[in-house]
A and B are shown apart, each in its own frame.
Chain A
Amino acid sequence: MKHLRSKILALLVAVSLIGAFVVATDALAGKTITIKGSTTVLPIAQVCAEEYMRKNPSAYISVQGGGSGVGIAGIVDGTCDIGDASRPIKDKELEQAVSRGVSPKAHVVAMDGIAVVVHPSNSVSAFTKQQIKDIYTGKVSNWSEVGGSGGEIVVISRDSASGTFEAFNGLALDKEKVRPDALLEASNQAVAGTVAKTPGAIGYIGLGYVTYQVKAIPVNGIECTKETVLSGKYPFARPLFMYTNGKPTGEVEGFLNFVLSDSGQDLVEDAGFVGLQ
Chain B
Amino acid sequence: MMRIKETIYKWIFTILAFSSLFFLVGITITLFKEGLPLFTEAGVFKTIFGRAWYPTYEPPEFGMLPLILASVWVTFGALAVCVPLGVGSALFLNELASHHQRAILKPLIELLASIPSIVYGFFGMVVVAPFLQKLLNIPVGLTAFTASLILGIMAVPTVCSIAEDALSYVPKSFREASLALGANRWQTLIKVIIPAAGSGISTAIILGMSRAVGETMTVLMVAGGAAMIPTSFFKPVRPMTATIAAEMGETVMGSLHYHALFAIGLLLFLITLLFNIIAEIVSRRYRLKLGLSR
Binding site for B on A (CB under 8 A): 1, 4, 39, 65-70, 72-73, 90, 92-93, 96, 151-152, 154, 159-163, 165-166, 175, 177, 180-186, 190, 193-194, 197-198, 200-201
Contact = CB atoms under 8 A, between A and B. Distances in A.
B2 to A, nearest CB: 9
B66 interface: yes
A201 to B, nearest CB: 7
Nearest to A66: B249
A67 B249 contact: yes
Contact of A73 (B56, B246, B253): B253
A271 B238 CA distance: 32
Given A92-B252, A177-B57, A183-B226, A151 B139 contact: yes
- Please list the 4 inter-chain residue pairs (A to B) with the smallest Cβ-Cβ separation, ordered nearest first: A184-B225, A67-B249, A161-B250, A159-B246
Contact of B245 (A66, A154, A175, A186): A186
23 contacts: A1-B4, A67-B251, A70-B249, A70-B250, A72-B252, A92-B252, A92-B255, A93-B252, A96-B253, A152-B139, A159-B246, A159-B250, A160-B54, A160-B55, A161-B55, A161-B248, A161-B249, A180-B66, A184-B224, A186-B245, A193-B126, A197-B130, A198-B139
A166 B57 CA distance: 10
Contacts of A67: 248-251
Contact of A184 (B54, B126, B226, B235): B226
Interface string B237-264: 0100010011111111111010000000
A186 B220 contact: yes
Contacts of A165: 56
B35 interface: no
A181 B252 contact: no
A182 B55 CA distance: 15
Contacts of A175: 57-58
A238 to B, nearest CB: 15
B226 A194 contact: no
B238 A184 contact: yes
Contacts of B139: 151-152, 154, 198, 200
Interface in B216-246: 220-221, 224-228, 235-236, 238, 242, 245-246
Contact of B227 (A92, A180, A186): A180
Contacts of B142: 183, 194
A146 to B, nearest CB: 15
A152 B66 CA distance: 22
Contacts of B126: 193, 197
A161 B56 contact: yes
Contacts of B245: 186
Nearest to B246: A159
Nearest to B51: A180
Nearest to A73: B253
Nearest to B224: A183
Given A152-B139, A161-B257, A181-B228, A198 B247 contact: no
A185 B53 CA distance: 16
Nearest to A96: B254
A182 B246 CA distance: 15
A201 B247 CA distance: 22
Given A154-B139, A177-B57, A201-B140, A162 B225 contact: no
B117 to A, nearest CB: 14
B250 A68 contact: yes
B235 A160 contact: no
A228 B142 CA distance: 34
Nearest to A1: B1
B86 interface: no
B247 A159 contact: yes
B141 A198 contact: yes
Interface string B47-72: 00000111111100000001000000
Nearest to A166: B56
A4 B5 contact: yes
Contacts of A182: 226
Most chain B CB within a 10 A radius of its CB, from A159, A166, A198: A159
A181 B225 contact: no
Contacts of A194: 125, 140, 142
